[in-house]
Amino acid sequence: MAYLGAAYLWVKAAHVIFVIFLMAGLFMMPRFFVYHQETVPGSPEDKRWIEREGRLLKIILNPSLLLVWLFGLMLMVEIGAWSFGWFHLKLLFVLGLSGYHGWIAGYTKKLARGERPLSDKQLRMMNEIPGVAAAVIVIAVIVKPF
């Protein structure tokens, strides 16, 4: 433990806590999208979904993503993770989840504009992405296959 010292376990705990918050949001938002798409653009229900999605993004997803990266980078430096093969796999999937977060933010804006570019089935398939990524990340970190 090079620079974090006694704070290492606190930083690690914070990282895991905010990963849980982030994953919860990444699982919830596509479900919100499925229900939101059923509404008529401009209707009172549409406006309520726009508000819900905006709050989930601003209160949970955006801050969680920022804190996951902050604490994760601190841990990466602390343990010298760059030299481990498993870390590269984890980083690849974390970058993918970060991109997925960006897609979610963009799709939120499309729905707010009244656009409905994806079908309910496509959105349900998109909802599987964070689960698959989480499984790969957990296996990489716990099993350390390489």
Q: Is 33 exposed, middle or buried (0-12, 13-18, 19+ CB in 10 A)?
A: buried
Cβ count near 22 (within 10 Å): 25
* Residues 30 and 123: beta-carbon distance below 8 Å: yes
Question: Is 121 labeled as ligand-binding?
Answer: no
* Residues 11 and 75: beta-carbon distance below 8 Å: yes
Question: Is 90 labeled as ligand-binding?
Answer: yes
Closest C-alpha to 34, from 132, 84, 104, 91 = 104
Q: How would DSSP label each residue in 26-81?
A: HHHHHHHHHHHHTSPTTSHHHHHHHHHHHHIIIIIIHHHHHHHHHHHHHHHHHHTG
* Binding residue positions for heme: 15, 90
Binding-site residue numbers are 15, 90
